[in-house]
Amino acid sequence: MRRLHSIVLLASALLAPRLPGHMMSMSTGDLVVKGNRASYELRMPDYEIAHVKEPHRSLFEHIRFRSGGQEGRAVRKSCRSDPGQAAYICTAEYEFPAAVEVIDVECTFHSITVPNHVHLLRAENEGKRDQAIFDFSFAKATLRFRPPSAFETAVTQSAAGFARALGGLVQILFLASLVLAGRSRRELVTVTGMFLAGQIISAALMPMTRWQPAPRFVEAAIALTLAYLAIEILLLPKAGARWLIAGVLGAFHGLYFALFLESTGYRPVYVLAGVALAEILAVIVFALVFTRIMRVAAVLRPVQVSASVLLVVGMVWFFMRLRS
C-alpha cells in the first residue's frame, strides 16, 4: 500500500500544469547559403534568454561561420522577441570573400545558456542540405552540403544519443540511484534492462500519439523519478518487483529522447543505441564504485546515505523547476 500511495503521488505531481525546467534546452537555426553570402536565423525559447546577458550581442558572439579559412563578416544582424511563439528570434546576413562550398561552424551557446543546451543547425546551399548538432561535447562541425554516408549517419546520430544520455545532472544521478536499487548483481541487470526497455518503448510510442509533453514537464518528471527511486530505496528496502518500477520510471525518461528525436529528425535506432551504450557504461562504472565503497566503508551505511542525498537533490531540483 505504501508503494501504491507513493506511485499515485508521483503521477499526480507529474500531471501538474506548467512545470518549468531546462532539461530539454534546445534552440534551432537555419542557414541558407547563396554564393558568397549566407542568411542565418536563430530561434531560442524565451525562457532560455533569462540566462543570457545582452542576448542581442552575446548570441552572435557565440556562433561563428568560416569558409576557406576566412570568417564570415556580419553585414546585418537583429534580434526580437516573438510572444506568440514564446521565442527569441535573431537573424543575420554574412558575407565571405569567395563563394561558399564548405563551411565550418563553431557554436558555444551552452556556455551562455545552460550547460546541457543543444543547438540544431540546418543548412542549405543551392538545394544541397546538411545539418549539425552543437552542445558541450561538440562545439565545432563542418558542413559539406552532401548526403552523409550510412556510416557517418550511424556514428553521428549514435554519438548524439550517447551525449544526450549523460547530458544532465539528474540523468546521471538517476543512473547512480538505479545501481543503489539493485540489491544483487542479478537484480541490477534486471532493473537496468527494464529501465532501458521503458525508455525505448516510450520514445518509440510517443510520436504515434497526439500527446506533446512540454520540455518543462519532462525535466520536472525526471527530477521526480530520481526522488521516488530514492524513497523506494530508503523506505521500501525489501519491496519486490523493483524491476517493474524501473520500467515505469524509464518511460518518463524516454519522453526526453522522444522530444530530442522529434526536434532533430534523427533515426531512433541510432540515437537509442547510443543512449543504451552510455547508460550501460555509466551503470557499470557506478556499480564498481559502489562495490568498492561497500567493502571499505560498510559501517557508514553508504546505500542509505547516498539515497538520502539523491532524494534531496531530486526534490530540490523539482521544486526549483516549479519556482523558475
Mean pLDDT of 20-47: 84
The rounded distance, in Å, linking the Cα atoms of 188 and 151 is 33
pLDDT band at 24, cuts 50/70/90? low
Read off the pLDDT of residues 158-172 as tens digits, 9 standing for 90 and up.
998 998 898 777 888
pLDDT band at 201, cuts 50/70/90? very high
The rounded distance, in Å, linking the Cα atoms of 289 and 39 is 50
pTM (2 d.p.): 0.75
Q: Which amino acid is at 24?
A: M
Q: Which of 305 and 255 is assigned the larger pLDDT?
A: 255
Read off the pLDDT of residues 110-151 as tens digits, 9 standing for 90 and up.
899 887 788 999 999 988 888 888 988 889 999 998 878 899
The rounded distance, in Å, linking the Cα atoms of 157 and 180 is 30
Which residue has cell 515505469? 248
Q: Are 89 and 80 in contact (CB under 8 A)?
A: yes
The rounded distance, in Å, linking the Cα atoms of 183 and 242 is 10
What is the pLDDT at residue 323? 63
Compute how many other C-beta atoms are within 10 angstroms of the C-beta atom of residue 76. Answer: 10
Tell me how many degrees the CA angle 44-47-49 measures, rounded to the nearest 5: 60
The rounded distance, in Å, linking the Cα atoms of 14 and 252 is 10
- Among 76-80, 146-150, 174-178, 199-203, which is the least confidently predicted range? 146-150
For every residue of the chain, which 3-state class applies, written as one string?
CHHHHHHHHHHHHHCCCCCCCCCCCEEEEEEEEECCEEEEEEEEEHHHHCCCCCHHHHHHHCEEEEECCEECEEEEEEEEEEHHHCEEEEEEEEECCCCCCCEEEEECHHHCCCCCCEEEEEEEECCEEEEEEECCCCCEEEECCCCCCHHHHHHHHHHHHHHHHCCCHHHHHHHHHHHHHCCCHHHHHHHHHHHHHHHHHHHHHHHHCCCCCCHHHHHHHHHHHHHHHHHHHHHCCCCCCHHHHHHHHHHHHHHHHHHHHHHHCCCHHHHHHHHHHHHHHHHHHHHHHHHHHHHHHHHHCHHHHHHHHHHHHHHHHHHHHHHC
The structural domains of the chain, ordered by start, are: 2-22+168-323 (no CATH), 26-148 (2.60.40)
| Per-range mean pLDDT, top range of 13-17, 62-66, 308-312 | 62-66
Q: Which of 59 and 170 is assigned the larger pLDDT?
A: 59
pLDDT of 66 strictly over 50: yes
Q: What's the burial of 271, exposed, middle or buried (CB within 10 Å: 0-12/13-18/19+)? A: buried
Mean pLDDT of 306-310: 83
Three cell numbers written together for 44: 531560442
Q: Are 146 and 128 in contact (CB under 8 A)?
A: yes
Strand partners, 87: 45, 82
